[in-house]
Structure 1
Amino acid sequence: MSLRVFIRKPTKEDCQELVSLHRRSEKFHFPWAFPPLNEQECKNYINCCQNEDFEGLLICHLTDHKIIGVANFSQIFYRAFQNVYLGYYIDVDFAGQGLMSEGVRLAINYAFDTLNLHRVETNIQPENRASINLVKRLDFTKEGFSRRYLKINGEWRDHERWALTVEDWVKS
C-alpha cells in the first residue's frame, strides 16, 4: 500500500496554516474537538508540543506537503504504565478519503517505535461514529464506557474507551 501522507512535528511557521485549517473546519469538528482558532492559541499549542508528556504530530499530504490533520499524544506515561492518550482531527476538505486512517496509523507506529510505548488509548464520544469507525479499522479494542468523562464545550460528556497495545499492533 503506498501512503498518501506523512507525519512531522509542528513548528511556529505552521501557525498560519493550522489556524486556517481550524477555522475552515470549526463546524465540522464541533462538538468533538476545539483546536486553536487564533495565532496565540496556536503558538501555545506548539509550545505545549515541547513538553515531555505531550507530542503533537501534523499529518501532511505527500504530494504538496499541505497539513491535512493533526494527531496528538497527551499524558505520556513511562515506567510500568507506558501509556498515552491519542486525539486527532482532520481538515474538513480531506474528510472521508481514508487519509486520517493513514495518518493515525503512522502516528501509532511513532508511539510504539519512537516513543517506545506499550499502549495507546483514545476516548471518543459515542455519537462520534466517524472516529469510532476509524479506531475499529485500526484494530483498537473497546474497553469500556466512562460516564461524564471529559468536560467539552461546558458539559461533562460520556466517552467510550478504546485501546491498542503494541502486541496487537499490525504495522504496515
Structure 2
Amino acid sequence: MHGDEIPAARPDSRVVLRPLTGGDQDEFLDLVKASAGLHHPWMSLPATPEQFQAYLARYEKPDEEALLVCVRGTGAIAGVVTINSIIRGRFQSASLAYAAFTPSAGQGYLTEGLDLVVRHAFQRLRLHRLEAQIQPGNHASLGLVRRAGFRHEGLSPEILFIDGAWRDHERWAITTGMVDIGPVEPHPTLPGH
C-alpha cells in the first residue's frame, strides 16, 4: 500500500482508493480525453490543465473530497468518485459523483471503488447519508448505485445543469443503517438531542 492510499475495508478488493493530487494531472487528463464518449452527455470532467487545477483546488476544501479508484498492484486509475457538499450538524450528508475511465470500464472496478467510498464516508468521515443524482437515461450509473445498495427516492425535475441544460435526475441514497459497518462514533458536530 502506498502511503497515500486509504485503507481498504475489504482485503480481497481489486481496487484501492487514494486522494487526487496534482501529480495525477497528465494521466487524469489523458483518461478524460479517452473516455469522452463514455461520459457524454452524463457529465463533464476537467479537460485542460487549467480546468484540472480548478477541480483539484475545489477538492482540497474541507467539505469536498476527490478519490481515485486505482487497480490494486498496478496503480492504474480506473475511475474517480467525489464526495461533494459535505453538510454536518443534524444532516451529516454529502452528494456523490463518479466516473469510470474507458481503459478499465465494464470490469467492476468502479463498483468495488464505490463500495470502498461508501465505507470511507461512513466510517472515517462519519457521515450518515450519501446521495447520488442520476439522469434517468444513464443506465450504467443506475445499475452501479443499485449494486451498491442505494435506494431510489424519487425524481427531481431540472435539478442539475449538465451538457448545457437543466436536467431531470433520479435521487438515490444510502444511509449507515443500510450498510454493515458496525458501530461508529458520531461526528462531533452531531447534536446530542
Give the distance between the partners of 1:14 and 1:138, measured in 2 at CA: 27
- Are 1:133 and 2:146 an aligned pair? no
Q: TM-score, normalised by structure 2?
A: 0.86
Alignment partner, residue 147 of structure 1: 157
Q: Note the C-alpha offset of 1:133.
A: 0.6
Q: Note the C-alpha offset of 1:10.
A: 1.1
C-alpha RMSD over aligned residues: 1.0
- Are 1:60 and 2:102 an aligned pair? no
Q: Secondary structure at the match of 2:180?
A: coil
Letter of the structure 1 residue corresponding to residue 96 of structure 2 = L
Alignment partner, residue 114 of structure 1: 124
Give the distance between the partners of 1:144 and 1:24, measured in 2 at CA: 33
Determine which of 7, 21, 27 is the counterpart of 1:11.
21
Q: Secondary structure at the match of 2:13?
A: coil
Determine which of 2, 21, 44 is the counterpart of 1:34.
44
- Are 1:72 and 2:72 an aligned pair? no
Q: Matched residue pairs, number?
A: 171
Q: Note the C-alpha offset of 1:170.
A: 3.1
Name stretches of at least 5 consecutive residues in structure 1 with no aligned partner.
Answer: none
Q: Secondary structure at the match of 1:85?
A: strand
Q: TM-score, normalised by structure 1?
A: 0.96
Letter of the structure 2 residue corresponding to residue 116 of structure 1 = R
Give the distance between the partners of 2:119 and 2:165, measured in 1 at CA: 33
Larger radius of gyration: 2
Letter of the structure 2 residue corresponding to residue 39 of structure 1 = P
Determine which of 94, 115, 119 is the counterpart of 1:105.
115
Seq. identity, %: 38
Cα pair 2:43 2:163 within 8 Å, conserved:
no
More helix by share: 1
Give the distance between the partners of 2:21 and 2:140, measured in 1 at CA: 28
Alignment partner, residue 172 of structure 2: 162
Task: Map Cα deviations across residues 94-153 of structure 1 (whole Å, 9 max, x no partner).
Answer: 111111100011111111011100000000000001110111111100001001111111
